[in-house]
A and B are shown apart, each in its own frame.
Chain A
């Protein structure tokens, strides 16, 4: 790999052991994936919940945090994905003290490195969205696919260690979606029915992910009757990334690299798939069609925007839940929801508003065992794809159907 003088100095350890590890890691990863050099990045976003890190990962971070400030501080703005708890709600969730302790240690280590604890997977809605063509090093697949596709930014999936490496070096290996040639479509999706609810957009994303199949595929969607809003794109992208490991999509006439279908070159001979309403309904029936009762309702993955919080409050106003209802949002949205009275409406109905965490990143298996949760209803296609491995039996419903399920304990399939 070609390195400039500064990069050679990092590799030689002249800028400290943390940067030396970081650039060696990047050279190893970039070498595997065909990078010829490193590209400067302007931001990094680190996923690092402690259920993933375990004791070994937390201790690994703490070793870097003990270095002198000049050796340990990140070189570009570096922010974080959701944590594994909402510190104010850990007891209610029946999370154990050791889980909270690991989260506190991890937070302290990141702060010592100069990382900003934003604790969000919707930074593109709340913190600082990247601009067209901006090279970044983002973790969280939903963040990457949204920013690549909707903003025209350039990032690969950067797992926690690699995102931290990018923060420490200020660059990342130039492969994959940093390159023009990788951003061209490889398959075409003809969409015959435009989704309505967020869980419809998630289902479409899941189907597109299944059609595409792996990280290196780039679908272009043709036929949508209207441009989706940010929350709809958020659910679509999160599901496409989850089911297909996809990092980029185009929507003809909507996303910035596909203002016109011709902008993408000749797409006539690409492998083509047709998706209609019946496919989306079948996808949704694949998650809990036989279920008639729920133990828990979760709105999470991704964290809720202020508009989703408003919609949820409207649906819950004047009602009472019979099952736990968890609404997970970001630390940036939560104060607005408090100030606007949305949190109060949700919690007066019996729901719980959580901030700065993500349900599946928060010791979901242990929470299930401690609370007796098994049948989980959600409007997140991403969450139903993940949570089965943690012992849950997920049901994919609309937000309104989820609220009905929380208030009655029963499921009425639409």
Chain B
């Protein structure tokens, strides 16, 4: 079952379970999202047009500027946020934003997590153990 559990170097937030939206693109709340409608809006993004609300976003790296640090909190307050962010590499802004919003964030895998998790898969994230992980259900 080892290929169904993927361990990460760091995580924060509560344990969550949900459907994965997967792409090899990066992620920035300002650059990529229409936060009022709850969809990816950047035309070049692989997930353009897809709703992210309540989904577990599995993407490559944190991109862009500092606004995401506020935006995750604002999205969570309106219940228009993703359930979790799963990234190969974070920048500080994603960590700061997830910390303020109380959102689950997990990153730093031994393999490309966007290859490991199929688009649409049901996954569980355990950020609280000594070895944080994401598991295919």
A25 — nearest CB in chain B belongs to which residue?
B99
Q: Which of B10, B12, B61, B95 contacts A214 (CB 8 A)?
A: B61
Knowing A32-B12, A32-B95, A52-B74 are in contact, say whether A159-B66 is a contact too (CB < 8 A): yes
Number of residues from A at the complex interface, CB < 8 A = 43
* Highest count of chain A CB atoms <10 Å: which of B32, B78, B90, B105: B90
Q: Is B128 an interface residue (CB 8 A)?
A: no
Q: Which of B62, B70, B77, B78 contacts A215 (CB 8 A)?
A: B62
Which residues of chain B are near A161, meaning CB under 8 Å? 69-70, 73, 96-97, 100
Knowing A215-B62, A365-B34 are in contact, say whether A159-B68 is a contact too (CB < 8 A): yes
Q: Which of A53, A162, A389 contacts B31 (CB 8 A)?
A: A389
Which residues of chain A are near B135, meaning CB under 8 Å? none
A139 to B36, CA, bound (A): 24
| Interface residue stretch chosen among A54-62, A195-203, A400-408 | A54-62
Which residues of chain A are near B71, meaning CB under 8 Å? 52, 54
A49 to B34, CA, bound (A): 17
Q: Shortest CB–CB separation between residue B40 and chain A, in angstroms?
A: 9
Q: Shortest CB–CB separation between residue A72 and chain B, in angstroms?
A: 18
Interface residues of B in 75-94 (CB under 8 A from A): 76-78, 89-93
Task: Please tell me if the beta carbons of B95 and A52 are within 8 angstroms of each other in the complex.
Answer: no
Which residues of chain A are near B10, meaning CB under 8 Å? 32-33
Task: Please tell me if the beta carbons of B44 and A157 are within 8 angstroms of each other in the complex.
Answer: no
B33 — nearest CB in chain A belongs to which residue?
A389
A29 to B30, CA, bound (A): 21
Interface residues of A in 31-48 (CB under 8 A from B): 32-33, 47-48
Query: Per-residue CB proximity of B19-40 to A under 8 Å, as 1/0?
Result: 0000000100011111010000
Q: Shortest CB–CB separation between residue A209 and chain B, in angstroms?
A: 9
Q: Is A355 an interface residue (CB 8 A)?
A: no
Q: Is A245 an interface residue (CB 8 A)?
A: yes
Q: Shortest CB–CB separation between residue A356 and chain B, in angstroms?
A: 17
A-B contact pairs, 18 of them (CB 8 A): A28-B12, A29-B92, A29-B99, A47-B67, A53-B74, A56-B76, A56-B77, A57-B73, A57-B74, A159-B68, A162-B96, A214-B62, A214-B91, A215-B89, A245-B63, A245-B64, A389-B33, A391-B41
Residues of B that sit less than 8 Å from A by CB? 10-12, 26, 30-34, 36, 41-44, 61-71, 73-74, 76-78, 89-93, 95-97, 99-100, 105
